[in-house]
């Protein structure tokens, strides 16, 4: 795993703690397990050593007793009479751990046996004729079996010269069975003693070592609590530096970290205060600038509104006088003059149209445009629209279609403004469509009248759709001059719609046509 993977793994694990045992419990568990293993090994070793020692002693003892019995049994074996060995056998039986005793002839005939019958059975199976040893030692799980040869010694010689010749004759064996009970008991006692003292030692150890571990861990716990507290509350509390060297180092490093964080916080606070102060100053400056700009904009709009209003009056009178002059010229047969005056009227009309647009716009911007609500029938509104736009259709050889699905409700609206919006849309449709159709579809839907002005004209490129409602915006093309216009009609229509809580939008496919929709609330 590389450093980056390791880092992201550690990041993901922040805040999660595994349900592991405390250090104290883990250490105690290791120590107790260690001491227990040591204790078991120790008790096995001790009991093995003690058992070995005891068994050697007991075997020695058994051999001594067997030898002594053999020495006292010469007569009994010579006579093969049990009575001669009675006293010796009884004495032997009184020795501790002697389980049985008797004599056996070289032919294997046992006599005088007393005590545990298992010993007698064991010796009976023994092959005495072929035995050359003087001392025999055998054992099973519960007993040792010892046999010592009974020897008759005969000393012949001259007592004066003191030259003796000694001959030995083996008569049989003194046989003994020795119980291992004492040895087993000693082993049991050893194990019990070790278990008791070991148990006490383990408990003592747990208490002493547990206390010592606790003393060592208390500072670590205190450090861990401060860390958790800081993590949960976001405080930078310092930890007490005490305990073992490593813990003191940890606490010191932690405190250093907290102090660095404090310094960083302080620096951040200062920077934030500084920034806030700067933002306040900038905001105040901007407010002053904005107020100044608003005031000057309002002055400009007011000036424009007054100016355009003042411009309208002389132009209207120019149009009036030109009409009179044209009539007179026609009456006097000066048709060239009448035609020139006709051009003057058309241009004056255009100029008046532009001034009206500017007047509307400046009134809106100066906040002086108001709604004049009145009751109107839908059909009257549509009639007025048809009359106002009738001269526009023949110009580009377009057809007009009215598709009314809304019936003829009474509307409480500012009919002047609604009419102006619709005239703008229909006149644009006529202007940008040649030899096509301009359809006005009217629908009524959930408290709204929906007007769709649909044409089959040149359409609007998708990348320009968003800006055609902005002031002075026209679709960029080489033909712009050809169509004329101010780029104000849609901007004013949009402002009017907003004033009437209506919505205006456009959908268009370049080369196929456009559909302008006005959604006007009527209830």
Chain positions contacting ligand ADP, by CB under 6 A: 424, 428-429, 432, 455, 457-458, 460, 468, 473-475, 485-491, 514
CB 171, CB 76: distance < 8 Å: no
Measured CA to CA, the distance from residue 88 to residue 66 in angstroms comes to 11
Q: How far is the CB of 416 from ligand ADP (least distance, A)?
A: 18
At 336, is the secondary structure helix, strand, or coil?
Answer: helix
Give the separation between CA 239 and CA 222, rounded to whole angstroms.
8
To the nearest whole angstrom, how small is the minimum distance from the Cβ of residue 470 to ligand ADP? 9
What is the C-alpha separation between 332 and 349, in angstroms, rounded? 25
Please, what is the minimum distance in Å from the beta carbon of residue 486 to ligand ADP? 5
Question: Where is 323: in which H helix or E strand?
Answer: helix 245-331
DSSP H helical ranges for 97-180: 117-124
Of residues 65 and 468, the one with the C-beta less far from ligand ADP: 468
Cβ 391 to ligand ADP, closest distance in Å? 17
Beta bridge partners of 402: 440
Least Å distance, CB 469 to ligand ADP, is 7
Tokens at 59, concatenated: 């075997």
Alpha-helical runs (H) found in 3-84: 3-13, 23-72, 74-79
Q: How far is the CB of 309 from ligand ADP (least distance, A)?
A: 21
Q: CB of residue 404 vs ligand ADP: minimum separation in angstroms?
A: 20
| Shortest Å distance, C-beta 475 to ligand ADP | 3
CA 331, CA 329: separation in Å to the nearest integer? 5
DSSP bridge pairs for 515:
454, 507
Q: Which one, 178 or 432, has the nearer CB to ligand ADP?
A: 432
Query: Residue 182 or residue 473: which is nearer to ligand ADP going by CB?
Result: 473
Assign 3-state DSSP to the chain and report helix, strand, coil percentages, each to 5. 60, 20, 20
> Which residues have CB under 8 Å from 124's CB, separation 6+?
108, 110
Compare residues 173 and 496 and give the one whose CB is closer to ligand ADP.
Answer: 496
At which residue do the structure tokens 């150890």 appear? 205
**Nearer of residues 250 and 357 to ligand ADP, judged by Cβ:** 357
Strand order in the sheet with 448-455: 399-404, 437-445, 448-455, 513-521, 503-509
| Closer residue to ligand ADP (CB): 184 or 474 | 474
Which residues, including other chains, have CB under 8 Å from residue 128's CB and lie 6 or more apart? 104, 105, 106, 107, 108, 172, 173
Please report how close the Cβ of residue 496 comes to ligand ADP at its closest, in angstroms: 12
Instruction: Name the residue nearer to ligand ADP (CB basis): 54 or 508.
Output: 508
Q: Among residues 128 and 516, whose Cβ is nearest to ligand ADP?
A: 516
Is residue 436 classed as helix, strand or coil in its secondary structure? coil
CA 248 to chain centre: 33
Minimum distance of ligand ADP from residue 442's CB (angstroms): 18
**What CA–CA distance (Å, rounded) separates 484 from 506?**
21
CB 380 within 8 A of CB 411: no
Closer residue to ligand ADP (CB): 54 or 514 = 514
Pairing status of strand 437-445 against strand 399-404: parallel
Q: Which is nearer to ligand ADP, 268 or 402 (CB)?
A: 402
Question: What would the two tokens of residue 144 be?
Answer: 């040792």
Separation CA 66–CA 177 (nearest Å): 10
- Nearest approach, Cβ of residue 346 and ligand ADP (Å): 16
Per DSSP, 21 falls in state P
Alpha carbon distance 371, 500 (integer Å): 7
Q: How far is the CB of 481 from ligand ADP (least distance, A)?
A: 11
Helices 23-72 and 86-93, packing angle to 10 deg = 170
Which of residues 486 and 517 has its CB atom nearest to ligand ADP in the complex?
486
Place of tokens 């030109």: 322
Quick one: 362 or 428, whose CB is closer to ligand ADP?
Answer: 428
């Amino acid at each position: 795993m590389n450093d980056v993977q390791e880092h992201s793994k550690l990041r993901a694990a922040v805040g999660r703690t595994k349900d592991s045992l405390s250090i104290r419990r883990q250490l105690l568990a290791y120590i107790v397990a260690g001491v227990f293993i040591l204790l078991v090994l120790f008790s096995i070793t001790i009991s093995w050593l003690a058992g070995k020692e005891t068994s050697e002693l007991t075997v020695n003892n058994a051999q001594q007793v067997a030898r002594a019995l053999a020495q006292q049994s010469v007569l009994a074996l010579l006579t093969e009479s049990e009575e001669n060995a009675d006293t010796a056998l009884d004495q032997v039986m009184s020795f501790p751990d002697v389980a049985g005793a008797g004599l056996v002839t070289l032919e294997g005939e046992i006599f005088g046996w007393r005590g545990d019958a298992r010993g007698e059975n064991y010796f009976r199976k023994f092959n005495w004729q072929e035995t050359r040893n003087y001392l025999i030692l055998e054992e099973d799980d519960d007993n040792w079996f010892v046999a010592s040869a009974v020897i008759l010694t005969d000393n012949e010689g001259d007592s004066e010269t003191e030259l003796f010749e000694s001959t030995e004759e083996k008569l049989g064996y003194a046989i003994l069975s020795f119980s291992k009970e004492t040895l087993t008991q000693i082993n049991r006692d050893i194990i019990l003693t070790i278990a008791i003292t070991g148990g006490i030692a383990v408990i003592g150890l747990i208490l002493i070592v547990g206390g010592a571990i606790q003393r060592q861990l208390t500072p670590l716990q205190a450090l861990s609590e401060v860390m958790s507290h800081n993590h949960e509350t976001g405080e930078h509390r310092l930890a007490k530096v005490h305990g073992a060297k490593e813990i003191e180092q940890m606490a010191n490093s932690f405190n250093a970290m907290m102090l660095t964080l404090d310094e960083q916080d302080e620096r951040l606070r200062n920077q934030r205060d500084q920034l806030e102060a700067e933002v306040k100053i900038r905001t105040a400056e901007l407010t002053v600038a904005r107020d100044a700009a608003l005031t000057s904009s309002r002055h400009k709009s007011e000036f424009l509104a007054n100016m355009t209003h003042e411009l309208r009056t002389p132009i209207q009178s120019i149009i009036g006088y030109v009409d009179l002059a044209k009539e007179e010229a026609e009456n006097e047969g000066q048709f060239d003059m009448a035609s020139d005056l006709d051009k003057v009227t058309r241009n004056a009309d255009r100029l008046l149209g532009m001034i009206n647009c500017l007047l509307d716009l400046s009134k809106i911007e100066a906040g002086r445009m108001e709604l004049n609500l009145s009751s109107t029938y839908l059909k009257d509104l549509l009639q007025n629209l048809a009359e106002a736009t009738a001269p526009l259709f023949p110009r580009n050889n377009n057809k007009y279609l009215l598709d009314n699905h809304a019936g003829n409700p009474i509307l409480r609206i500012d009919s002047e403004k609604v009419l102006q919006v619709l005239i703008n849309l229909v006149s644009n449709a006529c202007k940008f469509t040649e030899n096509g159709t301009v359809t006005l579809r009217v629908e009524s839907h959930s408290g709204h009248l929906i007007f769709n002005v649909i044409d089959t004209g040149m359409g609007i490129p998708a990348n320009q759709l968003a800006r055609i409602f902005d002031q002075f915006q026209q679709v960029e093309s080489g033909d712009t001059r050809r169509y004329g216009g101010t780029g104000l009609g849609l901007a004013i229509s949009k402002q009017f719609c907003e004033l009437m809580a209506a919505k205006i939008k456009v959908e268009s496919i370049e080369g196929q046509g456009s559909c302008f929709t006005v959604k006007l609330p009527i209830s």
